[in-house]
A and B are shown apart, each in its own frame.
Chain A
C-alpha cells in the first residue's frame, strides 16, 4: 500500500470525527463517486423493481431482494472509494468491468451468507461498512478474517453499529417524509392508494400499480442517495482503526523524512531528532492505543526506516536511554498486610449519621401512619359494603314479599289534585254525600276522585306521576290495584263528564258512588 499517495490526511482521530471524515470524502469526490455508483446501482435496482415488483406483482419481494443486494452495492461503493482516497478516479466503465471480481470476492459471500446469518452473527451485519474492507481490500478469509474483524471492531465497532442504526432510521424518515408529501399533494380520491402497508403487502391491483411503482422508486432513490455516505463513513472508521493499529500516520511522517535530502549529513541528524520527538510524542499521546508499546515503536522504526541500520541502532540506544528516565515510570513489587473486617463497622459520621437516622425514623413513622389510615379505610369500606349489601337484600325482600311496590314516595299532586292524605277529610264518603246533597256535584265527585287517587297512591303504592291524565290513572290502577279498577273506572267516567262536559249527573248516581266508595277505598282489602 502506498500510504504516501493517500489523498486524505492520516492522523489520530476520535471515532465520530472519523465518521465526519467519511462525509467529507463523499463531498470531495461526489461527482465521480455518484457517477460510478449510480451507473451500477440504478440499472440493477430498476431491473429488480420492474421484474419482481411489476412483472411478478410482488413489491415486497422486490424490496427484499434490494435489501439482500445491499452488501453487493456496498462493495461497489467501497471499490470506488478505495480508489478515490488515492486520487484514482474510477469511471463507470471501470466499475462495471470490476463487477464480476467484486461479486466473487465479497458481494456474493455477503449477499448469500451474511444476510441470512444466524442471529449471533448479526453484529457483522450491523457493522457492515466497517468490516467490508477485510474481505474486499485485505482479501482475508476464514479464521484470519474473523480475527481481523474482531480486532477492528474492538474500538470502533459500537460506533459502526450506531452508524448503521442511524442510516437505517434516516432511510425510514426520508421514505415516510417523501411518501407523506406525495400523498399530501394528491387528490383525496386516490390518496387511499398510497398507504405503504397496503402497497407493500397487498397484491398488484390495477388501480394501485402507479402507487406501487412510485413507492418502489422512492425507496430506490433514497437508497441510492444514502448508501454512499454510509459506506464512506464506515470506510473512514476502518482507516482510522488501521491508523491506530498500525501507526500509519507515523509511517507517513517517516516516509516524508525519507525523501531525498539535499545534505545527507544534516538530513540524517534532523531525521534522528525528529524520529525521537515523534516517537516520544507517540508514547505521550493518549489517543493512540495499540502503537503505544515500546516494541511496536521499535518495530515501526526498524521496518519503516530500513535504509540505515546504523541510524536505527543509534536511535534504539537513545530511545532506551530516554525510556529509562523517571518520567516514564518504574515498576516495583511491594507487599503489605490488610485486615479483613467481617462485622459491619460502626459508623462514626457524627452529625450526618444522626441526621440520616432521624430521616429514616421519620420515613418509618410516615409509613406507619399510611398503613394505619389504610387499615381504617379498609375496615370502613368493608362495613359500608356489608351495609349496602344488607340494604339491597332488605329492599329485594320488601319488593318481592308483597305489599310495597316501590320506595318512591307518591307525588303530592296528580292530575291537578292534591292527593296528600292530610288534605282529605276523615270521612270522605260522608263529606262527598253532603256536597252532593248540597247541590255541588262537581265538588262531590272531585273529592271522591281525589280521595281515591290518594288511597291508591299511598296505600296501594300505585305509581302516579304529575303528568298523568285520568286515562293514565285508570291504566295504572288496572295494573296496580285491579280489585278497585271497576269502581274507579265508573268514578273516572262520572268525573270526566262533570269536569270537562259540564253534564248534570242525577243525584242518585252521585249518592250511589258515595255509598260504594267506602267499600272499595275506605276499608283495607
Chain B
C-alpha cells in the first residue's frame, strides 16, 4: 500500500477505515467518526461511558484496520509508571542491562479506567502523550508514529479513583461520551456478536487491514495541510473565548481549546471528503473538543445543568463566521 499522494486517495482510505470498523462496531457512528478524527488530527481521546459499550472492541478494530501494534493497559491503584513505560533489566547471559519496553510502545494504546491509577502513573502516561517519546533510565526512546491513546473513564463507581486534573485533561484532543445504542442498533449488535460464536471474546476477524501505519502518518500530514479559512479560525477562537465569559462556566477553555478545535475540524473535514474546513466542522466537533476543558460553575451544577447543555447554548449564540 502506498502513501496517499493526493486528496482523493486519502479520502478513500479514510472511508475504507470507517467502513471496516463499522462492520463490527454497530450503532456508534459518531464514536467511530470522532475516534478517526482524533487519529487523523494526531490527538488522543478520552472516552467516558459505562462499562460494556464496546470501547475495547473499537480500539481493536481500529488497530486492525491500520495493522499497527495494539496494547491494552488496565489501570489499577498499584500500577507504577515503569509498568507502562518499561524498565532496564540485567541480562545475566550477556552481562548487560537490557531495556524491556512497556506497553506504551504501540500504535494504539487503550488505557482502561485511567482514573483508577495514582497521579504519578497518570502523569507518566500524559507526558508520553505530549512528548511522543518514552524515557527509560535517562534514555529517550521515540515512539513509532502513529501513536494514539484512548483512555477510558467510568462515570459511576467513583470510590477510590484519582480524578484527572484539568491541566492533564487538556492533553486529550477530544473527550467522547459513549451512550447506549438505540434499540435497533442494539438488536443488530446482539445478533452480530452471538451468531455462530462461542464465548464472549471480542472478535474482529471481519475487519480487514486497509491502511498501514505509514499511510496513517501520511493521512495525518494530509489532514494538517487542509485549508482553513481565516473566518473559520476566527470562529473557533471566538467559541473558545466565549467559554471564558459564559454564565454557568467557572473556568473556560484556554488557547489550547481553540487549537484543538481547528485540529479536530481538519480531521473531520478529511473524513467528510473535503479539502477545506467549514464552520460546520468546528461547530460539530466543538462539544467533544471543549467539554473537558471547561469547568462548570457551582450555581449551574446546583441547577442541574451539564457542560454539554451549556456548550450547546453557547454554540447557538456565537455568530457564525462572516465569509
Alpha-carbon distance A472/B278, docked complex (angstroms): 12
B94 at interface, CB cutoff 8 A: no
Query: CA–CA, A222 to B320, complex, Å?
Result: 78
| Stretch in contact with the other chain, from A41-49, A138-146, A306-314, A493-501 | A493-501
- Interface pairs (10), CB distance under 8 Å: A413-B319, A414-B320, A467-B320, A469-B321, A471-B279, A472-B320, A496-B276, A499-B323, A501-B275, A502-B276
Tell me the A141-195 residues at the B interface (CB within 8 Å): none
| Contact assessment for B323 and A502 in the assembled complex, using a CB-CB cutoff below 8 Å | no
Given A416-B321, A468-B316, A469-B278, 4 new contacts (CB under 8 A): A467-B317, A468-B320, A472-B280, A502-B229
**Quick check: B278 and A467 within 8 Å, CB to CB?**
no
Chain A residues within an 8 Å CB radius of B277: 500
If A416-B320, A500-B276 touch, whether A471 touches B232 (CB-CB below 8 Å) is no
Asked if A446 and B323 make an inter-chain contact with CB atoms under 8 angstroms apart, the answer reads: yes
Residue in A413, A446, A470 whose Cβ sees the most chain B Cβ within 10 Å: A470
**Neighbouring A residues of B96 by C-beta, 8 Å:** none
When the two chains form their complex, are residues B227 and A470 in contact, meaning their CB atoms are under 8 A apart?
no
For the complex, give the distance between the alpha carbons of A325 and B227 in Å.
132
The reply to whether the CB of B283 lies closer than 8 angstroms to some CB of chain A is: yes
* Contact (A415, B227) CB under 8 Å given A471-B283, A500-B276, A501-B276: no
- Say whether B237 faces chain A, with CB atoms less than 8 Å apart: no
Instruction: Out of A466, A495, A502, name the residue touching B320 (CB < 8 Å).
Output: A466
Digit string of A471-513 for contact with B (CB within 8 Å is 1, else 0)? 1100000000000000000000001110111100000000000
Q: Is A465 an interface residue (CB 8 A)?
A: yes
- A473 and chain B: residue at smallest CB distance: B320
- B315 contacts partner chain A, Cβ-Cβ < 8 Å: yes
Question: A467 and B227: CB pair below 8 A?
Answer: no
Tell me the count of chain A residues lying within 8 A, CB to CB, of chain B.
21
- A469-B322 contact in complex given A496-B278, A499-B229, C-beta closer than 8 Å: no
Interfacial residues of chain B within 282-323, with CB under 8 A of chain A in the complex: 283-284, 315-323
Q: Are B275 and A500 in contact (CB under 8 A)?
A: no
Q: CB-CB < 8 A to B99: which residues of A? A: none
- Check B317 against A501 for contact (C-beta < 8 Å): no
Confirm or deny: B98 has a beta carbon within 8 angstroms of a beta carbon on chain A.
no
- Chain A residue nearest to B226 in the complex (CB): A501
Given the interface pairs A499-B229, A500-B227, the reply to whether A467 lies near B319 with Cβ below 8 Å is yes
Residues of A contacting B88 with CB < 8 Å?
none
- Residues B316 and A469 in contact, CB atoms below 8 Å apart: no
**Quick check: is B231 within 8 A (CB to CB) of the other chain?**
yes
Q: Is the CB of A469 within 8 A of B275?
A: no
Complex Cα–Cα for A415 and B323 (A): 8
Nearest 6 CB-CB pairings of A with B: A416-B322, A471-B280, A501-B276, A499-B323, A415-B320, A469-B279
Find chain B residues with CB under 8 A from A417 CB.
Answer: 322
Consensus secondary structure, chain A interface: mixed
Chain B interface size band reads 20 to 34
Bound-complex Cα distance A414 to B279 (A): 13
Q: A470-B278, A471-B283 are in contact. Are A500 and B323 (CB under 8 A)?
A: yes
B contact residues around A468 at 8 Å (CB): 316, 320
CB distance from A436 to the nearest CB of B (A): 17
Q: Which residues of A contact B275 (CB under 8 A)?
A: 501
**A-side contacts of B232, CB under 8 Å:** 500
By the criterion CB–CB under 8 Å, are B323 and A469 in contact?
no
A469 touches B320 (CB 8 A): yes
Q: Are A465 and B316 in contact (CB under 8 A)?
A: yes
Closest to A414 in B: B320
Contact present for B319 and A466 (CB under 8 Å): yes
**When chains A and B are docked, how far (Å) is the Cα of A468 from the Cα of B318?**
9
CA distance A466 to B319 in the complex (A): 5
Q: Could you tell me if B280 and A469 are in contact, using CB atoms closer than 8 angstroms?
A: yes
Chain B residue numbers with a CB within 8 Å of A496 are: 276, 278
Contacts of A413 in B (CB 8 A): 319
Which of A413, A416, A467: most chain B Cβ within 10 A? A467
B237 to chain A, nearest CB (A): 15
Interface residues of A in 230-289 (CB under 8 A from B): none
Give bound CA distance, A470 to B274, whole Å. Answer: 15
Q: Mark A68-83, 1 if CB is under 8 A from B, else 0.
A: 0000000000000000
Chain B window 264-280, contacts with chain A (Cβ cutoff 8 Å), 1 for yes, 0 for no:
00000000001111111
Interchain CA distance A502-B278 in the complex, whole Å: 12
**Known: A469-B278, A470-B279. Is A500-B320 also a contact (CB below 8 A)?**
no
Q: Would A469 and B283 count as touching, CB distance under 8 A?
A: yes
Residues from chain A with a CB closer than 8 A to the CB of B283 are 469, 471-472
A502: B residues at CB distance < 8 A: 227, 229, 276
Q: Output the nearest chain A residue to B277 by Cβ-Cβ distance.
A: A500
Contact B318 A467 (CB under 8 A): yes
Measured in the bound complex, the distance between the Cα atoms of B321 and A469 in whole Å is 8
Taking a contact as CB atoms under 8 Å apart, the answer to whether A466 and B280 are in contact is no
Complex contacts, A501 vs chain B, CB 8 Å: 227, 229, 274-276
In the complex, the chain B residue whose C-beta lies closest to that of A497 is: B276
Q: Please measure, in the bound complex, the distance between the C-alpha atom of A465 and the C-alpha atom of B319, giving whole angstroms.
A: 9
B214-267 CB contacts (< 8 Å) to partner A: 227, 229, 231-232
A300 smallest CB distance to B (angstroms): 83
* Nearest CB in chain B: distance from A451 CB, A: 15
Q: Which of A416-470 contact B (CB under 8 A)?
A: 416-417, 446, 465-470
Task: Find chain B residues with CB under 8 A from A470 CB.
Answer: 278-280, 320
CB of A500 within 8 A of CB of B319, answer no
Contacts of A415 in B (CB 8 A): 279, 320-323
CB distance from A383 to the nearest CB of B (A): 39
Give the Cβ gap from A128 to chain B, nearest Cβ, in Å.
57
Contact call A467/B323, Cβ cutoff below 8 A: no
Q: B323–A471 contact, CB under 8 A?
A: no
Chain B nearest CB, measured from A413 CB (Å): 8
A332 to chain B, nearest CB (A): 88
Chain B residues lying within 8 Å of A471, measured Cβ to Cβ, are 278-280, 283-284
A residues less than 8 Å from B231 (CB atoms) = 416, 499-500
| Chain A positions within 8 Å of B321 at CB level | 415-416, 469
Q: A466 — which chain B residues lie within 8 A by C-beta? A: 317, 319-320
| Interface members, chain B 39-73 (any A CB < 8 Å) | none
Query: How many whole Å from A329's CB to the nearest CB in chain B?
Result: 83
> Which chain A residue shows the least CB distance to B321?
A416
**How far is the CB of B234 from the nearest CB of chain A, in Å?**
11
Q: What does the 1/0 interface line of B162-198 toward A look like (CB < 8 Å)?
A: 0000000000000000000000000000000000000
Partner of B278, one of A414, A416, A465, A500: A500
A472→B279 CA distance, assembly (Å): 10
